[in-house]
Amino acid sequence: MHPGSQSLISRLRSGDARALARAISAVENRSAGWAELLKGLFPHTGHARILGLTGSPGSGKSTLVDQLAKHYRQDKQTVGIIAVDPTSPYTGGAILGDRIRMQDHFSDPGIYIRSMATRGSLGGLARTTADVATVLDASGRDRILIETVGVGQDEVDIVRLADVTIVILVPGMGDDVQTIKAGIMEIADIFVINKSDHEGAERVEREVRAMQSLDMRKDGWSPPIVKTVASQGVGTEELAAAIADYETYLKEENLAFRKNVENWQERLVEMLRDAMLEKARAQMDGHALERYAAEIAEHKRDPYSLVEEIVRGVQHD
């Protein structure tokens, strides 16, 4: 391995926050040596427990993450936070809000916060987030909290890397639960109804219960519903307890390992797809794809043979 990577890894392992920041940037930006770095870090991973928190913009994810971080710090656990920033314009101010709110932690080296705005990035949002989590895990963090706006497949992929997924709902979402993407509802290990100080919290709870009665999870777990007022710290202890309950359940039922295997199976497919595509692209000149596309559109060649040909080339590489 590159000697620079080696020294970065040992500094990161000894708790150097700057080394941690540098390693995360390298992975995020796919700078030279990023893959070597991850290879060197991977053997040190597996310790951290990863929590994914997802919910609509403004539902109180950051406030809740902040409360949970405080809770774990009181328990002497170290925390890493990844805030996957939404690009939607009306949440643009939230990043600054996060900074201000998180400020009281900044003097505490036991909390490391990283905001990412990497939609459309080289590695893809879900993969980059997973790689950043790997770096945090290798740095010895006990807990990794990932905040993401629950809007699409990317988010489903992100929370899939979490051991525990928390879906945050709030009262007064119009048609409430129905407006939430079905995919997001299915991934919840725990439901939080935040802003329970607002009217309609009971209604959301009833709707979640009604929906739950319709489907039984294959792992036999019945996701609890925790009501919180994150801005006042109400319900944080209950949420932490629900998280601990699920972790115990996973352990007792021996599900944690199986879940991990499933996650890796999916992630391996993605990694392979990326790597193969990269290889294929490396064989072609910059305009090859465009040229091929034109030839196919003009019916000068068929796409099936072309793909076969390219794949053969990758194999012989």
Output DSSP code: residue 49.
Answer: E
86 is a site residue for ligand GTP (CB under 6 A):
yes
Q: Tell me the C-alpha to C-alpha distance, in Å, between residue 289 and each of 98, 121, 278, 285, 292.
A: 42, 20, 13, 8, 5
Stretch of residues binding Mg ion (CB under 5 A), selected from 54-62, 127-135, 172-180, 271-279: 54-62
120: left (phi over 0), alpha (psi -120 to 50) or beta: left
Output DSSP code: residue 121.
Answer: -
91 is a site residue for ligand GTP (CB under 6 A):
yes
Q: What is the DSSP string of 25-43?
A: HHHHTT-TTHHHHHHHHGG
Stretch of residues binding ligand GTP (CB under 6 A), selected from 104-112, 135-143, 194-202, 291-299: 194-202
x/- letters, 205..244, toward ligand GTP (CB under 6 A): ------------------------xxx-------------
**3-state percent breakdown (helix, strand, coil) of the chain, nearest 5:** 55, 15, 30
- How far apart are CB 61 and ligand GTP at their closest, in Å? 3
- ∠ CA 130-136-137, rounded to 5°: 85
Stretch of residues binding ligand GTP (CB under 6 A), selected from 26-34, 55-63, 179-187, 199-207: 55-63
197 is a site residue for ligand GTP (CB under 6 A):
yes
Q: Are 263 and 228 in contact (CB under 8 A)?
A: no
Please identify which residue in 82, 94, 225, 239 interacts with ligand GTP, judged by CB under 6 A: 94
Please identify which residue in 4, 15, 46, 97 interacts with ligand GTP, judged by CB under 6 A: 97
- How far apart are CB 99 and Mg ion at their closest, in Å? 11
Q: Which is nearer to Mg ion, 54 or 62 (CB)?
A: 62
Instruction: Name every residue whose Cβ is closer than 8 Å to that of residue 285 and which is 6 or more positions away in sequence.
Output: none
Q: The tokens of 222 are what?
A: 């019945």
Please identify which residue in 5, 59, 62, 139 interacts with Mg ion, judged by CB under 5 A: 62
115 is a site residue for ligand GTP (CB under 6 A):
no
Sites of contact with ligand GTP (CB under 6 A): 55, 57-63, 86, 91, 94, 97, 149, 194-195, 197, 229-231
